[in-house]
Amino acid sequence: MSSEVAARRDAKKLVRSPSGLRMVPEHRAFGSPFGLEEPQWVPDKECPRCMQCDAKFDFLTRKHHCRRCGKCFCDKCCGQKVPLRRMCFVDPVRQCAECALVSHKEAEFYDKQLKVLLSGATFLVTFRDTEKPETMVCRLSNNQRYLLLEGDSHYEIEIARISTVQILTEGFPPGGGNARATGMSLQYSAPGAEGTTQLKLMAGEDANASRRQATAWLAAMHKATKLLYESRDQ
């Protein structure tokens, strides 16, 4: 990929919407697959009362729109200002209690797991049509649209073309707990190709820093997959 193309993919611009300032991709086609579109606000004339507590709006009880769901609420039910990274808002925005809870949980992905995905990890990579695995570094592109696999070969897999993701696990730790993630199997459709291609990423066997990094990357990818499916269902 040329530096010019990479710069075009990552370019951003500042825009103002009714909900606040947003830092969005300069080219819409390069938007993050984890992003959410701003909702249509419920028209003022259609919500004479708070859609949570049923308080009647008047001169003293003002109506506010939740920036995540677009519904009308009173200040008591929609008074929190919470970061909403999935809609690219620069500053925290007003959200109802239910949406604020979801946004708080998603903030962990952007503050922790996303950084792990961008840093990458080393895996043994096997494509369906090959038998011998290749050692490659797998990471998420800066614009979050591609999985980049780099080793003796180089591959770019568009996140939006991934149809299924399965985290591979083994065993259970002594004393109980969750099974240990050892790899990931995914299927995706390549541009211009018929059907889907299967890809398997396996962490190395050595219990060292590289293995721990790979395990953390798999856990982050599991969280990213949940957000991806939510975006598709919007």
**Mean pLDDT estimate for the chain:** 86
Residue 128 has a pLDDT of: 74
Give one DSSP letter per residue of 152-184, joined into a string: SSEEEEEGGGEEEEEEEEE---TTS-PPEEEEE
Compute the distance between CA of residue 89 and CA of residue 69 in angstroms, rounded to an integer.
14
pLDDT tens profile 72-100: 999 999 999 999 999 999 999 999 999 99
Residue 8 has a pLDDT of: 62
For residues 90 and 21, is the Cβ–Cβ distance under 8 A? yes
Compute the distance between CA of residue 30 and CA of residue 194 in angstroms, rounded to an integer.
24
pTM: 0.77
Per residue of the chain (234 residues), give pLDDT as tens: 555 555 566 688 899 988 889 988 887 767 888 888 899 999 999 999 999 999 999 989 999 999 999 999 999 999 999 999 999 999 999 999 999 999 998 988 999 999 999 999 999 999 876 778 899 999 999 888 999 999 998 999 999 889 889 988 876 555 555 667 889 999 998 887 788 889 999 987 765 778 889 999 999 998 888 887 776 555
Residue 177 has a pLDDT of: 55
Pair of tokens at residue 120: 């990458």
Residue 234 has a pLDDT of: 54
CB atoms within 10 A of CB 38: 17
Residue 25 has a pLDDT of: 83
Compute the distance between CA of residue 86 and CA of residue 226 in angstroms, rounded to an integer.
13
